[in-house]
Structure 1
Amino acid sequence: MRLQRSIDEDRQQPFENIPLWMLYPLLFVAVYLSHFRLLRLPYFWDEGGYYIPAAWDFFRTGTLIPQSTVTNAHPPLPSILLAGWWHLSGYVVSGTRTLVCMVTAAALLGVYKIARDLANSAVAAVTVVLTALYPIWFAQSTLAHADIFAAAFTLWGLGFYFDGADAAGSRSKATLNPLFATLMFSLAALSKETAIVTPVALALWEAVLFIKNRSEPLSRKLQSSWILALLSPIVPLAAWYAYHYHRTGFVFGNPEFLRYNATANLDAYRIILCLWHRLLHLFAHMNMFVPVVCMLAAAFIPVADTNKRLPIPRKALYAIGVILLSNWIAFSILGGALLTRYLLPMYPLILLVCVNTWRRRIPQRWLVIAMLSAAAFLSAIWINPPYAFAPEDNLTYRDFVVLHQQAVRFIDLHYPNATVLTAWPAVSELNRTELGYTNHPVKTTPIQNFSLEQIQRAAADPGSYDVALIFSTKWAPLANQINLGRPNESADTKYFDFHRDLSPSEVATLLHGQVVWQARRKGEWAAVLHFPRIVEATLFPPQKP
């Protein structure tokens, strides 16, 4: 799909033909060094809740079905890759995060390939930098979630698709690129089941083109090969589900997982709300509105020189539109939590369209706009938006982890034999030593969260705990700050599990305890409460020998 550029433009692109393999070490070093302070952080949220325990089980026992955590039918490729890497690096958190840095660098190389094939090396370089700096991508670049693995394989699948979908004149590309794309999309689906949305959407798009091009047998032949290639990843994913059913009796995980992520989401009003939230996630969240608004403004400016600044091919733009539309709709229906990491492969595509539009429409100022967008992304890595969001969308997750490290350390030092009242994910942090928070398991009494209802339930059974670890389970602006999401809190409470956690002093009052430790970091907080218990003791005289 790469268009022939003019000689003048080729002279302006000295790095146009640099081999991709030469760029990978540079990308890895850049990712590694920019995340160096995060490499030794203990595991966060879903890492400790599922992905690390699942990989830990495979590492120790070789089972693809997790034994020490609830099985939810997620495909096993991340567990296999993590366990294989642990055999080389040893089981250390920094080793895990180094592997994720390597996967992130490979994903960014895929972004570079797509952008260079559709535009040029300058656009590719700027797109890669903006993608790496985008807060959601930056935060996920060291977190061992399946989404970064799926994103890397998906982007490489798209790289082969965009490089070969118009290769009717190149027999080698017409033959090999569909095979490579099949492999990449299959690995993406085996990393995260929802990654199948992208190749299936492209297969439907190629089917539409197949029907339209009735008078072009050569194009129809190419499109038929792509339809087959893009639908083939369904086969290994179906094989995994068949194996999972054979071993567990469930196809899509346990019934609670299926209800939370699929069947309970089919309410029409909820879907409409999700469509709105996902639209904001794609084009506005974490300062993404800056490059998008600049692109929309630039679109009204005439192109300065159509010969030297060729657009992204129209067919590729349509394909990108199909990918964005299908993922927007799919992730508005699937998934109980509206996590932005599900959309991880979409952000480079949006940024590619933005960057190429600036280059064509504002050739003298497009790098200035790129620098403005980079500054907006950098600020959003540390500055939280004026509405509730998931801590893993920027470095707020680091504040969460550091607070929990300090709280667990305090409990280890002062109450090593206590039974701790707390909620997930702190339950796993205290129970599972492999997550990096404690070196010995701590007994826990779990509750769902620290809302008034859950604390009242805990107050009904005071003998089941003697220490509590409470923390902010939802990040939201303080009551005296601007909160753009406040008008939607009732709907978010009903459909998206939003709730208000009680403060440490309120919990201490209701449970008749005292706050013995607490700390805050940029809206995140954690506290340890102790409950002095009155114990009835009876003295018996010692028996005579």
Structure 2
Amino acid sequence: MLYPLFFVAVYLSHFRLLRLPYFWDEGGYYIPAAWDFFRTGTLIPQSTVTNAHPPLPSILLAAWWHLSGYVVSGTRTLVAMVAAAALLGVFKLTRTLTTSAVAAVTVVLTAIYPVWFAQSTLAHADIFAAALTLWGLAFYFNHDSADTGSSLVLNPIYSALMFSLAALSKETSIVTPIALALWEIALLLQNRRAPQSRRLHLSWMAALLAPILPLAAWYAFHYHRTGFVFGNPEFLRYNATANLDAYRIALCLWHRLLHLFAHMNMFVPVVCMIAAMFLPIAATNKRLPISRPALKAIGVVLLANWIAFSILGGALLTRYLLPMYPLILLVGVNTWRRRLSERWLLLAALSAIAFLAGIWINPPYAFAPEDNLTYRDFVVLHQQAVRFIDLTYPQATVLTAWPATSELNRPELGYTNHPVKTAPILNFSLEQIEKAAADPGSYDVALVFSTKWAPPANRVDLSRQHESVDTKYFDFHRDLSPSEIATILHGEVVWQAHRKGEWAAVLHFPRIVEASFHPLENPDPLYSYL
């Protein structure tokens, strides 16, 4: 009964975003992979580089496109349905451990948390994996409060199914069930003398380790078809082997800690929770709603994901931690409810205001545009720039960087209705622009844009002091301005626009072409007469 309400709320709150063309990794991998499966039925992408991501999102997207047609709004509607299912999982999980009031507040705060809000219509694998992971956790924690014989049998089965589907959506989702399996092993050793507890822990261990099997089967299939287990060698290097540096891991642990407990105003509910813990328990709330074993299990899940995503993944994207944010909010809201009696709703309102502000107001440090509605500014600017090129220079070869190369080359991404030739470079740093200047004949128009969001030079920038380290380990760079690029490449800025720190510009390069006359060896008589 709640699902239609959740879906309508997600759909209406994202209504202005439903027709936006695909953004960044959507157009770089997930949509092309699903597009290939939709057209050819192949699980191995053909029109983009395969990186061994599991195929469930592609299968679901392609199946939905057969119903909705291949339109961007159809894709975003499906993702909104998945986000609503994830919020329903949050409600079930929270109500199982606490009360309906705490569950309702946790769902609202999750839905409006800027990272979650932005991802609720973006076709990344992370929202699919988050929904299934949260349902897996809901069934796992259900055995704390349901002691009937049927639930003892069915909950492990349901949980294993949800975690298996999560792993087939995003391979890194396997971290959560493995962490819980290790926790069950610790509980088994602690309660090894109790036969009933031993059987329960063994059944959960089997259920939580079961998702390894379908994921291993996918990798075996991928290896059989491509010769690579974990994707192409460059993908493996960038996301795994190149990250095994002690100093980098230490930096990532710090960044991920901030991502979990401070990023996009998450510090507001976290600080409120810490402050509330110093208050005595309210007289009306002597009972502890969340059991200590459940709190410890939540801590194990958060710890495992914090460590795992500080080692795995070349980019420190917060969407990788998507299913962790509801767990943090669950614990925080429950702490307010227990310590402050009726006044806890004031802290909920304060957190809601902070989250709503974070959806539109950028923080004073560099971050990924997909963490709030900055990604919309990015997409709108690229729409306008590509439309200008289509109308003004329809036959041009465009110098640009990814993801604009895909936006121009692939009409199915929603930016243009015909492929546009491109001359790709990595970014718009001085080094790359100088390389482009060495071969001016390979392009006659340039589409330049902000590839990294950072506070303007005249604003507070908390990340500026770490810029050298971020450049070395996390691919940070400073893009040149359109006027600087035009000066180096000897062109002129013919269009530019800015939106809240994001910018894009189109440059034109008037070329001087040397021409010479070569008379015909055997001219036509009529030509000679004329």
TM-score normalised according to structure 2 size: 0.98
CA deviations 1:55-75 (Å, max 9, x no partner) are: 000000000000000000000
Contact map agreement 1:388 1:476 (CA 8 A) in 2: yes
Alignment match of 2:471 (pick from 473, 489, 493): 493
Structure 2 equivalent of residue 111 of structure 1: 90
Alignment match of 1:436 (pick from 409, 414, 417): 414
Alignment match of 2:335 (pick from 357, 377, 401): 357
Alignment match of 1:525 (pick from 492, 503, 509): 503
Matched, 1:374 2:352: yes
Contact map agreement 2:34 2:58 (CA 8 A) in 1: yes
Contact map agreement 2:20 2:379 (CA 8 A) in 1: yes
Q: Aligned equivalents of 2:138 and 2:524: distance in 1?
A: 83
Return 263-272 or 207-216, whichever deviates more.
207-216
Q: Aligned equivalents of 1:245 and 1:364: distance in 2?
A: 57
Give the CA deviation at 1:170: 1.4
Give the CA deviation at 1:308: 5.6
Matched, 1:537 2:518: no
Q: Aligned equivalents of 1:301 and 1:376: distance in 2?
A: 23
Alignment match of 1:144 (pick from 119, 123, 144): 123
Question: The residue matched to 2:49 in structure 1 has which SS?
Answer: coil
Aligned 1:280-429 pairs, distance under 5 A: 280-305=258-283, 309-429=287-407
Q: Aligned equivalents of 1:120 and 1:361: distance in 2?
A: 15
Q: Aligned equivalents of 1:189 and 1:478: distance in 2?
A: 40
2:56 corresponds to which letter in structure 1?
L
Contact map agreement 2:230 2:236 (CA 8 A) in 1: yes
Contact map agreement 1:309 1:359 (CA 8 A) in 2: no
Aligned 1:62-461 pairs, distance under 5 A: 62-165=41-144, 167=146, 169-305=147-283, 309-461=287-439
Return 212-221 or 114-123, whichever deviates more.
212-221
Structure 2 equivalent of residue 3 of structure 1: none
Give the CA deviation at 1:306: 6.1
2:198 corresponds to which letter in structure 1?
R
Give the CA deviation at 1:37: 0.0
Q: Aligned equivalents of 2:514 and 2:251: distance in 1?
A: 55
Question: The residue matched to 1:363 in structure 2 has which SS?
Answer: helix
Q: Aligned equivalents of 2:41 and 2:286: distance in 1?
A: 56
2:366 corresponds to which letter in structure 1?
A
Structure 2 equivalent of residue 43 of structure 1: 22
Give the CA deviation at 1:323: 0.2
Contact map agreement 1:45 1:425 (CA 8 A) in 2: yes
Q: Aligned equivalents of 1:307 and 1:128: distance in 2?
A: 22
CA shift in 2, pair 1:423/1:307, >3 Å: closer
1:53 corresponds to which letter in structure 2?
P
Gapped regions of structure 1 (runs ≥ 5): 1-21
Question: The residue matched to 1:191 in structure 2 has which SS?
Answer: coil
Contact map agreement 1:418 1:443 (CA 8 A) in 2: yes
Contact map agreement 1:165 1:222 (CA 8 A) in 2: no
2:525 corresponds to which letter in structure 1?
K
1:314 corresponds to which letter in structure 2?
R
CA deviations 1:438-492 (Å, max 9, x no partner) are: 0000000000000000000000000000000000000000111000011110100
Structure 2 equivalent of residue 60 of structure 1: 39
Q: Aligned equivalents of 1:310 and 1:279: distance in 2?
A: 27
CA deviations 1:253-276 (Å, max 9, x no partner) are: 000000000000000000000000
Question: The residue matched to 1:365 in structure 2 has which SS?
Answer: helix
Q: Aligned equivalents of 1:544 and 1:42: distance in 2?
A: 58
1:48 corresponds to which letter in structure 2?
G
CA deviations 1:391-425 (Å, max 9, x no partner) are: 00000000000000000000000000000000000
Return 86-95 or 310-319, whichever deviates more.
310-319
Give the CA deviation at 1:540: 5.3
CA deviations 1:260-304 (Å, max 9, x no partner) are: 000000000000000000000000000000000000000011111
CA deviations 1:335-360 (Å, max 9, x no partner) are: 00000000000000000000000000
